[in-house]
Structure 1
């Protein structure tokens, strides 16, 4: 039985997580959003077909204009009563939109947006830690809308796609748009926006884990209060290749993984170890991302 090749890993990643984010910067960010917008999001279920696992980026793409301020959000049923789901103001030529209620019915968002003259659909979805606060606006062609700007505070950010505190839309914006915003998952919810388990903000960021045994991986995750809930088998020599299962032998080797719910991870495994050069290349990527972790994605 041969070891998992780089090509095999790329195929896995095409199913399990989104494209990797390039180095921080505006050009890199634009490229990342283009990648994220290449696949339509599901209507009402968690996305499970994800491109690229190891350095992934969220892949819930809709079509849209934008909204958000997530540092001052009041969820439904907690804190003081919320009069309106959104706070929409016009400032310096922009519609500035804050979400007061992250758990409101989407119809409430739509009604307020239409009243403000904005042809926008807004969804707020449970997201893994790296993507809490992520804003993903796309147009009808599923391409990222650069006219819609996030509002980012200065300084470092501990999340892969930035720590947006709001969104602004030009008052003269023409057309329609959909926006997806990542929020913290409630107990029992599975994420609709996920990324690699070693991405910035995730449990194994800066922690080498590729090619370790499942037993070693389990110990690493337990130290971080994470359990393995599922395994994906990536092993051409196994009849279950490509299947998701509840358990595999502790001696099997780790190819990658991602969080699918609070405290629960899916780990991609093979019965054979990766070739040394492939494992080293994978770990180099983890180290590179770690070296960049002090930077905000907007810097």
Structure 2
């Protein structure tokens, strides 16, 4: 607790400009896997993966990469399940497990230890009527494969409360969707705890989008939204949380990214902040363990 307080004080003491300049040194890049909540299409010169955007602007991992000042390799495909297939697209491939294999087979067999890996999937398993426990186990299996390839830092968003999405809100399926989301998240949490226990050095950071979405819907104005219950269409007015019946607007993605930054510790950033403060004060010290 004392260490956390010291870190907080350091952050508050630094100027915004200095903090932004340092952020880019925490990770060398972001490697993303998942479904339409992460898919950014092939809009990046070094990214040939994905189908396209399912929102009206950048997705959350793009905002995170921009903030860190690092490249993003986005392997996600809209419609992907946690398995190999993509029933929404009528494909036996592009699912999460396939994405992991595609990365290792066509991009690199290893992952640099200073890469932040994001894995967000599961919603399409619900839409396909698949068991939540199997979906959670598939996500965990994918993370284990990526850890075996060298990945150490994983940002894993929970499923949001699917029952609160416009496609399900107020329908007979709302309770089922909410219950499936909760059960999946609990199962995933337990699976990741077990994964960490057998993989020293691997860190799984949870991004609780379930709680975040509920909070934004309960108090929209506090999160900058004016409409959180209906979709805004292809060109949503300002203040809409949802782009369509399932997917958030780019403003919703920015909200997710903001909480993603908070979920991932940045030890190298903290060290640099300390050194920066010392330099500003004209102090010279020798750090010893």
TM-score range, shorter chain: under 0.3
Structure with the bigger RCO (C-alpha within 8 Å, sep 6+) is: 1
Give the TM-score normalised by structure 2: 0.26
Which of the two has greater helix per residue?
A: 2
